[in-house]
C-alpha cells in the first residue's frame, strides 16, 4: 500500500503524549479500505482510535491502523426515538454535541469524554450515572484475520463496568468501523449524580434540557480533569474497585468515612480516587510522572515522563493502596 508511512512518532496520536515510534502507520477511511489492506498486507496490526485510553511504554513494531472512518447519520426515525449510525473514527465529544444540536438525548452526560466512537464500546465509557451500554444498539467491525465485516448486537459485546468482550476475549482482533446507538427524541435527563445536581443549581437551572446537562458536565469535567492538550493524561488510570459485602464492611469499620456506592448484586464500589488520596499520592510526582492534584485517579505526564515512568508510579500507588487498605487496584488504561 502506497500510503503507509514508515517510522513515525506516535506522540501526536496518544493523549499521554508518549514519544514512541511505529514501524508503519496508515489511516483507515472506510471498512472497504481496511478489507483491501487485510487481503494484501500481513499484520501484526495495532489499532489506534483517539489514543486517549492507552499508555505506550515502547515502540510499536506493527502496522498501526488509525481509525478515521467518518459518518453521522440517522438510519431509523421513530416517533420518540432514532437509531443513529456513527463512524468508528468520529470524535466522541463532537458527536455528542451534534446529537444535542439535533435534539437527540441519551449521551449528554458523556460530554467531553476524549476518544472516538470506535473506542467507546471497547471500555463501555461512562460518566455521571450513564454508560454507553444504556444507549448502545449494535456495532459493525472488521475481523482482522478474515477481513469479514461482522455485526455485534448489544448482548454479544458483554458490557460491564469499563469492560467488554473487546477488552477480553476479542482484544485486538476486531476493528470497529461503525456504532449504532438508540437515542431519544423526547429525552428525560439523568441528573441523579450529586455533582450534576449541584452544578445545575449553581447555573440556576431548574428543569434542565439535554444542552444544559451537557454544559454542567463540561463544567465539572473541566474543573477537575486535566485537558490532554495541555497536560498529558488518559483520564482515570484505575477502575473503582468493587468489593464483596464482607470486605467492604471490614474496611468501613476501619475507615467509617469511606465513600461508597452499593451495587445491585450486593457488592460495593468504592472510589479509587479516595483510596489514592488517603494513601498520600494526590498531587505528588516522581520526576515528570504525577498524580493529578485535583483528581487523584488521573495520572499525568508533566512534560517528559516516559511510559515506563508513569507505569512505575502507577505500580507504587497500587502497592501503597494495597498495603494501607488491602485493596487491589486494577488498571483502566491499556498499557502497551
CB 270 within 8 A of CB 238: no
Q: Which of 112, 135, 296, 310 binds ligand EPU (CB under 6 A)?
A: 296
Q: With respect to ligand EPU, which residue has the nearer C-beta, 6 or 265?
A: 265
Q: With respect to ligand EPU, which residue has the nearer C-beta, 85 or 217?
A: 217
Q: Is 48 in the site for ligand EPU (CB under 6 A)?
A: no
Q: Is 134 in the site for ligand EPU (CB under 6 A)?
A: no
CA distances from 153 to 121, 159, 215, 280 (A): 11, 11, 31, 43
Does 162 qualify as catalytic in the annotation?
yes
CA distances from 41 to 32, 65, 148 (A): 14, 12, 15
Q: Which of 111, 234, 236, 314 is catalytic?
A: 236
Return d(Cα 117, Cα 68) in angstroms, integer: 10
> Which cell numbers in the block locate residue 60?
510499536
Q: Is 273 in the site for ligand EPU (CB under 6 A)?
A: yes
Segment 226 to 245, residues that bind ligand EPU, using CB under 6 A: 235-236, 239-240
Cis peptide before 51 (omega within 30 of 0): no
Q: With respect to ligand EPU, which residue has the nearer C-beta, 91 or 277?
A: 277
CA distances from 147 to 33, 38, 106, 120 (A): 11, 6, 33, 22
Q: With respect to ligand EPU, which residue has the nearer C-beta, 43 or 280?
A: 280
Q: Which of 297, 299, 311, 321 binds ligand EPU (CB under 6 A)?
A: 297
Q: Which of 162, 178, 221, 234 is catalytic?
A: 162
Q: Which of 116, 295, 301, 318 binds ligand EPU (CB under 6 A)?
A: 295
Q: Which of 127, 181, 189, 300 binds ligand EPU (CB under 6 A)?
A: 127
Return d(Cα 94, Cα 274) in angstroms, integer: 31
Does 150 qualify as catalytic in the annotation?
no
CB 130 within 8 A of CB 184: no
Return d(Cα 235, Cα 276) in angstroms, integer: 15
Question: How far apart are CB 51 and ligand EPU at their closest, in Å?
Answer: 14
- By CB under 6 A, how many residues form the interface with ligand EPU? 18
Q: What is the dihedral of CA 95, 98, 100, 104, to 10 degrees?
A: -80
Q: Is 44 in the site for ligand EPU (CB under 6 A)?
A: no
Does 76 qualify as catalytic in the annotation?
no
Return d(Cα 248, Cα 104) in angstroms, integer: 39
Residues making contact with ligand EPU (CB under 6 A): 127-128, 195, 224, 235-236, 239-240, 259, 271, 273-274, 277, 282, 295-297, 332
Active-site residue list? 162, 236, 332
Amino acid at each position: 500500500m502506497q500510503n503507509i508511512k514508515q517510522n513515525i512518532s506516535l506522540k501526536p496520536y496518544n493523549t499521554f503524549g508518549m514519544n514512541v515510534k511505529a514501524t508503519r502507520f496508515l489511516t483507515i477511511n472506510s471498512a472497504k479500505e481496511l478489507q483491501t489492506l487485510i487481503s494484501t498486507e500481513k499484520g501484526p496490526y495495532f489499532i489506534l482510535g483517539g489514543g486517549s485510553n492507552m499508555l505506550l511504554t515502547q515502540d510499536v513494531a506493527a502496522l498501526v491502523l488509525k481509525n478515521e472512518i467518518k459518518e453521522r447519520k440517522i438510519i431509523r426515525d421513530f416517533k420518540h426515538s432514532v437509531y443513529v449510525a456513527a463512524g468508528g473514527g468520529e470524535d466522541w465529544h463532537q458527536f455528542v454535541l451534534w446529537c444535542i444540536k439535533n435534539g437527540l438525548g441519551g449521551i449528554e452526560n458523556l460530554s467531553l469524554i476524549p476518544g472516538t466512537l470506535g473506542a467507546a464500546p471497547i471500555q463501555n465509557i461512562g460518566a455521571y450515572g450513564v454508560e454507553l451500554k444504556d444507549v448502545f444498539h449494535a456495532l459493525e467491525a472488521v475481523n482482522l484475520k478474515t477481513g469479514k465485516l461482522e455485526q455485534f448486537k448489544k448482548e454479544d459485546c458483554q458490557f460491564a463496568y469499563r469492560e467488554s468482550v473487546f477488552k477480553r476475549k476479542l482484544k485486538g482482533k476486531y476493528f470497529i468501523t461503525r456504532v449504532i446507538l438508540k437515542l431519544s427524541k423526547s429525552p428525560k435527563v439523568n441528573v441523579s449524580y450529586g455533582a450534576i445536581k449541584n452544578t445545575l443549581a449553581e447555573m440556576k437551572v431548574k428543569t434542565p434540557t439535554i444542552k444544559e446537562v451537557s454544559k454542567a458536565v463540561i463544567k465539572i469535567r473541566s474543573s477537575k480533569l486535566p485537558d490532554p492538550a495541555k497536560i498529558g493524561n488518559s483520564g482515570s488510570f484505575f477502575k473503582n474497585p468493587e468489593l464483596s459485602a464482607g470486605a467492604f464492611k471490614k474496611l468501613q469499620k476501619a475507615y467509617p468515612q469511606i465513600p461508597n456506592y452499593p451495587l445491585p448484586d450486593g457488592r460495593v464500589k468504592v472510589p479509587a480516587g479516595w483510596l489514592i488520596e488517603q494513601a498520600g499520592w494526590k498531587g505528588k510526582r516522581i520526576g515528570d510522572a504525577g498524580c493529578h492534584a485535583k483528581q487523584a485517579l488521573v495520572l499525568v505526564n508533566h512534560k517528559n515522563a516516559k511510559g515506563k515512568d508513569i507505569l512505575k508510579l502507577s505500580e507504587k500507588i497500587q502497592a501503597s493502596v494495597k498495603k494501607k487498605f488491602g485493596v487491589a487496584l486494577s488498571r483502566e488504561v491499556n498499557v502497551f
